[in-house]
Amino acid sequence: MARVDMTGTEHGGAGTERSGSRFRTALERLRGDRGIWRRGIVLALCAVLLALVMGLHSDIPNRIGNLGSLSETFLPWFGLLVPVLFVLAVLRRSATALIALVLPAVVWLDLFGGLVVDKSQAGGDLTVVTHNVNADNPDPEGTARQIAASGADVVALEELKGEVVPAYERVLADTYKHHSVQGTVGLWSKYPLRDAAPVDIRMGWTRAMRATVAAPAGEVAVYVAHLPSVRVRLNAGFTANQRDDSANALGEAIARDPHRRIVLLGDLNGTMNDRALNGVTSQLRSTQGAAGDGFGFSWPASFPMARIDQILVRGMEPLSSWTLPETRSDHLPVAARVKL
């Protein structure tokens, strides 16, 4: 109903009529636009190509510069191209392109739609944290205090430089009575540790370890690993061969482990989508995928773009997974709570 003010002027009705008239005019113009289906063919092809890249990412070959692993590392970000193409399709007034955009939208939702909802649950028997503390961390004591304040029962640290290990040991000693450092990785626990030993991941020095944690709800075999770094170089592509070899060695060690309950904590320098980590991911379950809230990107800490710090489990139920506040490292700490 039109509104009349004190001067007797009528408001609302005319504006509503004008809006409806403009909409009908625009609709009629589109109906009469015979080029609406012919325009935007290139945009439509781009949408189809985007859907194929995301849906068939495992078929992208790694023979040339590990292109497949590179695309899988940043696969969730391909979804940002959907709204970009949508805007271009609207500006181009292309019905063909708009309809084609349904394909990549559906593929992205199928791959990652489950990650955007909160799947966390209350409860749990064990809280674990992993953190690449950065060898050049300017404040190891502050980082250790932040980790201790997390309330975790078990903490794994990677990229421990020998001369700063005493700083971490000193700060964490009050909270964690049991710990073991093997090479550049370490494990701190509120509960007793036994059988702590290095794990050979074919690097020439120790960047992985295993220990048994005697938690109140049952023993757990805990692996800590820092797989080799990867680089993107113009002349070599995605240089991940050493990382891939170490991932296979780690997978073989886990496959030989007779323990029913296993937790892997560490910087794997790869995402769960990366087929190069199949030797590990085929045996263990990602806590972030099963019980996380969002993507849980952990690197780089200033603007996280990828989840390369992982907590994977076998023989237990993930109940919650999250990232912790930034420390002075270039990685975010990640945490999970599991039920044994």
Is residue 191 classed as helix, strand or coil in its secondary structure? coil
| The token pair that represents 257 in the structure block | 């482990």
pLDDT of residue 18: 66
Asked if residues 198 and 190 have their Cβ atoms less than 8 Å apart, the reply is no
How far is the C-alpha of 69 from the C-alpha of 77, rounded, in Å?
Answer: 14
108: left (phi over 0), alpha (psi -120 to 50) or beta: alpha
Asked if residues 336 and 291 have their Cβ atoms less than 8 Å apart, the reply is yes
Give the tens place of pLDDT for each residue, 76-121.
999 999 999 999 999 999 999 999 999 999 999 999 999 999 999 9
pLDDT at 219 over 50: yes
pLDDT of residue 9: 47
Q: Which residue has the higher pLDDT, 231 or 311?
A: 311
Lowest mean pLDDT among 145-159, 227-241, 251-265: 227-241
pLDDT of residue 7: 47
SS (H, E, C) 98-127: HHHCHHHHHHHHHHHHHHCCECCCCCCCEE
Q: Write down the CATH number for the domain with range 126-339.
A: 3.60.10.10
Give the tens place of pLDDT for each residue, 51-87.
999 999 999 998 888 899 999 999 999 999 999 999 9
pLDDT of residue 233: 64
Q: Give the domain ranges of the chain.
A: 33-115, 126-339
Give the tens place of pLDDT for each residue, 14-46.
656 666 677 566 555 656 566 788 899 999 999
pLDDT of residue 66: 86
Share of the chain above pLDDT 90, in %: 83
Q: How much is the CA Rg of the chain, to the nearest whole Å?
A: 26
Residues 321-331, mean pLDDT to the nearest whole number: 98
- Kindly indicate the confidence band of residue 214, based on its pLDDT and cuts at 50, 70 and 90: very high
Q: Helix, strand, coil proportions of the chain in percent (round to 5)?
A: 40, 25, 35
pLDDT at 145 over 80: yes
HSE at residue 201, side-chain half, CA atoms within 13 A, is 32
Residues 277-301, mean pLDDT to the nearest whole number: 97
User: Whose structure tokens read 């997978």?
Assistant: 251
Which residues fall within 8 angstroms of residue 97, CB to CB, at 6 or more apart? 39, 40, 41, 43, 44, 47, 85, 88, 89
Q: Share the mean pLDDT of the chain.
A: 91
pTM equals: 0.87
Closest of 296, 320, 293 to residue 306, by C-alpha: 296
